[in-house]
Amino acid sequence: MTAPPPTTRAHRSCVVVARSCPARDRMSRPDSPLTAAESDAFLRSVENVHAAAFQHLSGTRDQASVVGFVVQLQRGIDAVYQERFRQGAKPDCQSGCSYCCHTRVEALPVEVFRIAQHLSQRAGTQLNEFKDRLKKQVSAADGALSWQDRPACIFLEDDRCSIYEIRPGVCRKAHSFDAMKCATGSADIPEDLGLLLDAEALMKGTSNAYEQLGFESAGVELGYAVLQTLSDPTLEARWYRGERVFSQKAGQSPESGRDEG
C-alpha cells in the first residue's frame, strides 16, 4: 500500500470496535483520498488477516489459547506502528503526554479479558479498592457532557499507562502529528492514514475471525467492560461458550445480581 496523506481522528476507536472511524469514513466518502486500488488493497488485507486468524483460531482447543491469540494482533499493530515511524514519520507524541487517554476507549472482548486476568492477580483488598475506583470512573464517564468533563482512563497513572504491555490495540495505534490539537480536544487531529489502514486491517480481520467462530467480537467500552468482567467470574467462560456477554445496556449496573466482592 502506498503512503497516503495524514488523516484525522476524533477519538480512540476503529472500524472494528466503534462506529466512527476516520479511515472507514474517508473510504466511504465521495472525496475519499483513497483510490479504488487502495480501497481494494485494504479489503484484501482484511481478508488475508481474517483467513490466517481463522485458521489459527480453528486449531486452538481451549479458552486460554483463544483469548491469548489477541497477543498476535497486538504485536502486529506494534510492528506496523514501528515500521511507519522507522520510515521517517514523526508523531508529536511524547512520553507523559496523555490527552488521548481522556477519550472513550473501546477494546475487543479478548483484550478486556487479558486486562481483567492481569488485575485479578492483585490481592483481594487491592482489587476491591480498584473496583471501587473503577465504578466511580465508569459512572463519571457516563455522566460526562464533554471531552473536558470526561475522567481519564482508569489505567492512566501519573500520566502513564499502567497496563502498557497489555493495552488494547486502539491505544497501540494511537498517534498524532499535532499535540496541541489533542490538548484542545480537536476533532481534527492529523494521523497517518497508512498506519491506520494497516492497523485496522489487522483488527478487522482478527475480529471477523473471532466472530465467524461464534465469539462475541464487537468493541466494548474499556472501563465498563473490565468492571463487568471483574464483577462476574463466569463472564469469560460464558463468552467462550458463545454468549453475548457484553450486550447489556450501558446504564445497567455490571454488578447487579453478581459478586459484590
Nearer to ligand SF4, 62 or 158 (CB): 158
CB 254 within 8 A of CB 228: yes
DSSP letters, 27-77, are HHSTT-SS-HHHHHHHHHHHHHHHHHHHHHHHT--SHHHHHHTHHHHHHHH
Tell me: does residue 173 bind ligand SF4 (CB under 6 A).
no
Establish if 235 lies at the interface with ligand SF4 (CB under 6 A).
no
Of 149-157, 192-200, 205-213, 224-232, the window that binds ligand SF4 (rule: CB under 6 A) is: 149-157
| 156 near ligand SF4, rule: CB under 6 A | yes
**Are the C-beta atoms of residues 73 and 16 closer than 8 Å to each other?**
no
Q: Which residues of 126-139 are buried (b: 16+ CB within 10 A; e: fewer)?
A: eeeebbeebbebbe
User: Rule CB under 6 A: is residue 203 a binding residue for ligand SF4?
Assistant: no
167 contributes a contact to ligand SF4 by CB under 6 A: yes
| Nearest-angstrom CA–CA distance, 158 and 57 | 37
**Structural Rg of the chain based on CA atoms:** 18
Closest to ligand SF4 by CB, 22 vs 169, is 169
Enter the C-alpha cell of residue 255: 454488578
User: Which listed residue (53, 73, 153, 182) binds ligand SF4 by CB under 6 A?
Assistant: 153
Is 163 a binding residue for ligand SF4 by CB under 6 A? The answer is yes
Minimum Å gap between C-beta 120 and ligand SF4 is: 17
Q: Which is nearer to ligand SF4, 153 or 220 (CB)?
A: 153
Question: Which one of residues 101, 112, 197, 227 is an interface residue with ligand SF4 (CB under 6 A)?
Answer: 101
Cβ nearer to ligand SF4, comparing 27 with 170: 170
Question: Does residue 10 interact with ligand SF4 by CB under 6 A?
Answer: no
Minimum separation from the CB atom of position 158 to ligand SF4 (A)? 11
Distances, alpha carbon 200 to alpha carbons 6, 55, 73, 138, 195, in Å: 15, 19, 10, 26, 8
Integer Cα distance of 199 and 141 in angstroms: 27
Nearest Cα to Cα of residue 113 among 215, 252, 204: 215
**In the complex, least distance from residue 154 CB atom to ligand SF4, rounded to whole angstroms:** 7
Residue 92 near residue 178, CB atoms below 8 Å:
yes
Beta-strand relationship, 156-157 and 6-9: unpaired
Nearer Cβ to ligand SF4 (26/173): 173
Q: Is residue 110 a contact point for ligand SF4 (CB under 6 A)?
A: no
Q: Which of 105, 193, 202, 225 binds ligand SF4 (CB under 6 A)?
A: 105
The residues of the shown chain that bind ligand SF4, judged by CB under 6 A, are 101, 105, 153, 155-156, 161, 163, 167, 171
